[in-house]
Chains A and B, each alone.
Chain A
Amino acid sequence: MTRFNAWNVLKNGFINQTGWQRQWRDPVLKKEYDVVIVGAGLHGLATAYYLAKNHKINNIAVLEKGWLGGGNAGRNTTIVRSNYMMPGNHEFYEHSLKLWENLSHELNYNVMFSQRAHVNLFHSPAARDSNARRYNTMLLHNTDAEFWNLKKLKKTIPHLNYGPNARFPIMGAAVQKRAGTARHDAVAWGYARAADSLGVDIIQNCEVNGFVRRANNIDIIETSRGQIKAKKVGFAVAGNTSRLWQMAGLDSLPIESHKLQAFVTEPLKPILDQVVVFGVGGAHFYISQSDKGGLVFGGDLDWYKSYAQRGNLPIVQDVAEAALSILPCLGRVRLLRHWSGIMDMTMDGSFFICKTPIDNLYLNAGWNYGGFKTTPASGWHFADLIANNRPNKIINNHDLKRFEKGVNIDERGAGPDPKLHG
């Protein structure tokens, strides 16, 4: 793999860019692997990378039904933040943010991580108080957090609707300055390239069709490209976790698949330097501007269970209404695309990185709305679990037994209704 650095850029300028190599190989499927990860999305690729890098396991395959990064990796709004409060979650998300801060160097790939601040607007004293509680908890755990008053907010983000006619006048904002956005494709490609250079086989167009179990293990994985023996198997297929789970002969999960839409407008000149979040009176809206200039935004789930990767129109209307109530200046901006991805919505809004009833099967699932930001930590901790066959302290309660044990990790306090954990 040719490294990206100033010297190579300069050199290739002289030799007509012929000195670059393929970013990753298209390897032939081997008969046997130490670890097989199902799903070459962000989490699967990151897991393979950290298994090879941190745990020196090199005989790894990542199987992908379509092309790498073609599922939810390419369907998110690329927000990265760590404003979580519950034990287990705040350590995990903060660890993720720290990994993001060095990710471009670590992968030798520019993931365009931009710490542009995450601005969470509030519109009532109650919302201010609950934000104060959350952001104070973050400060106690050495995560950066601050409050902006109206004066500072108006100066920093002048285009929001501060007018006297606003249905929900803005009172201020809770802000995490180290939060921001990254380039989603670059993250997938960066991890794929780095994992591949450590010897990981990324097998695209290889669908898993079944499992042969022996005793309490998965012995053989049946794929569209033949059979593979695997010593350990990891699932990282959020959205379709239940389907694969049942293919492995297991039963139910605390997960429902719901779809979430996202939108992007035509490119505009710089208008919004931060990630802005608006949530009041049943509305939910988050927006940022990509480096290309498009405004990237999203809202709520489509409210009913679905595996269809296409959104419904009532939500398009809801999101457009929220957009105009908070940023009226967008009234004449045209929508370029909108799309939908399938979320693993869980019963308490938190994820699973855990062992399973099958001895050599490990589960990475249940990312709700928030899988993108967790990519580095998800891969890091899932690799740690697979390599050491035990959960570490941080993810100790992120297992399937937490409901029975009564240690639900419910950030919102919304209860066991997956669609409410947005």
Chain B
Amino acid sequence: MIRIKCPYCGDRDHSEFTYGGDGSIVYPELDASVEDWTNAIFFRKNIYGIQTETWQHVHGCRLWLKIKRSTITHEIESIEPAHKEIIKMVKNK
């Protein structure tokens, strides 16, 4: 079991989360070439080592997190909210 320290809910089992996949993808402009879109959607570095990925805390706060995790040892290097502005909006309410 991987333990993920959710910035909102605290230290939880990974079974509370769903895995979103590669968090480093930057999608091109809508009118970009077919090649650029193919690369963004279908091609992956498939990193052996520390990769940036997204997880959603579905059985908790339901917010998306951006996590740096080793694909070799599963050790987590850093965790941050994927959309910081949403938190600001919630807090300012």
Partners in one complex: yes
Most buried by A among B2, B35, B42, B48: B42
Which one of A122-130, A283-291, A305-313 is at the B interface?
A305-313
**Which positions 3-56 of chain B face chain A at CB distance < 8 Å?**
13-15, 18-19, 21-22, 34-35, 38-39, 41-46, 48, 51, 53
Assuming the contacts A303-B18, A403-B38, asked whether A313 and B43 have C-beta atoms less than 8 A apart, the reply is no
Is A314 interfacial (CB-CB < 8 Å)? yes
- Which of B18, B51, B73 has a CB less than 8 Å from the CB of A305? B51
Q: Which residue of A lies closest to B45 (CB)?
A: A252
User: Which chain A residues lie closer than 8 Å to B34 at the CB level?
Assistant: 404
Tell me the bound Cα distance from A308 to B38 in angstroms.
28
Is A347 interfacial (CB-CB < 8 Å)? yes
B45 to A305, Cβ gap below 8 A?
Answer: no
User: Which chain B residues lie closer than 8 Å to A312 at the CB level?
Assistant: 1-2, 14
Is B89 interfacial (CB-CB < 8 Å)? no
Is A254 interfacial (CB-CB < 8 Å)? yes
A242 to B46, Cβ gap below 8 A?
Answer: yes
A417 to B21, Cβ gap below 8 A?
Answer: yes
Q: Nearest-CB distance from B31 to chain A (Å)?
A: 17
Is B74 interfacial (CB-CB < 8 Å)? yes
**Which positions 229-269 of chain A face chain B at CB distance < 8 Å?**
240, 242-243, 246, 251-257
Is A75 interfacial (CB-CB < 8 Å)? no
**Which positions 136-155 of chain A face chain B at CB distance < 8 Å?**
none
A254 to B43, Cβ gap below 8 A?
Answer: yes
Assuming the contacts A252-B39, A403-B42, asked whether A307 and B48 have C-beta atoms less than 8 A apart, the reply is yes
Q: Which residue of B lies closest to A305 (CB)?
A: B71
**Chain B count of residues within 8 A CB distance of the other chain:** 26
A253 to B71, Cβ gap below 8 A?
Answer: no
A254 to B42, Cβ gap below 8 A?
Answer: yes
User: Which chain B residues lie closer than 8 Å to A240 at the CB level?
Assistant: 48
Tell me the bound Cα distance from A419 to B41 in angstroms.
14
B72 to A307, Cβ gap below 8 A?
Answer: yes
**Chain A count of residues within 8 A CB distance of the other chain:** 27
Assuming the contacts A304-B19, A404-B38, A419-B19, asked whether A252 and B44 have C-beta atoms less than 8 A apart, the reply is yes
Is A88 interfacial (CB-CB < 8 Å)? no
Tell me the bound Cα distance from A71 to B87 in angstroms.
45
Is A70 interfacial (CB-CB < 8 Å)? no
Q: Nearest-CB distance from A408 to chain B (Å)?
A: 9
User: Which chain B residues lie closer than 8 Å to A308 at the CB level?
Assistant: 71-74
Tell me the bound Cα distance from A314 to B35 in angstroms.
39
Q: Nearest-CB distance from A155 to chain B (Å)?
A: 39
Is A416 interfacial (CB-CB < 8 Å)? yes
User: Which chain B residues lie closer than 8 Å to A417 at the CB level?
Assistant: 21
User: Which chain B residues lie closer than 8 Å to A347 at the CB level?
Assistant: 41-42
A306 to B71, Cβ gap below 8 A?
Answer: yes
Q: Please, could you name 26 A-B residue pairs with CB atoms under 8 Å apart, sorted by A?
A: A242-B44, A242-B46, A243-B48, A246-B45, A252-B39, A253-B43, A253-B44, A256-B22, A256-B44, A304-B53, A305-B46, A305-B53, A307-B48, A307-B71, A307-B72, A308-B71, A308-B72, A312-B2, A312-B14, A314-B1, A314-B13, A314-B14, A347-B42, A403-B41, A404-B35, A419-B21
Known: A257-B71, A305-B71, A307-B48. 15 other contacts (CB 8 A): A242-B44, A242-B45, A242-B48, A253-B43, A304-B2, A305-B21, A305-B46, A305-B51, A308-B74, A313-B1, A314-B13, A314-B15, A347-B42, A403-B42, A419-B21
7 closest Cβ pairs, A-B complex: A242-B46, A252-B43, A304-B19, A403-B42, A314-B15, A404-B38, A254-B42
Chain A interface residues toward B at CB < 8 A: 240, 242-243, 246, 251-257, 303-308, 312-314, 347, 403-404, 416-419
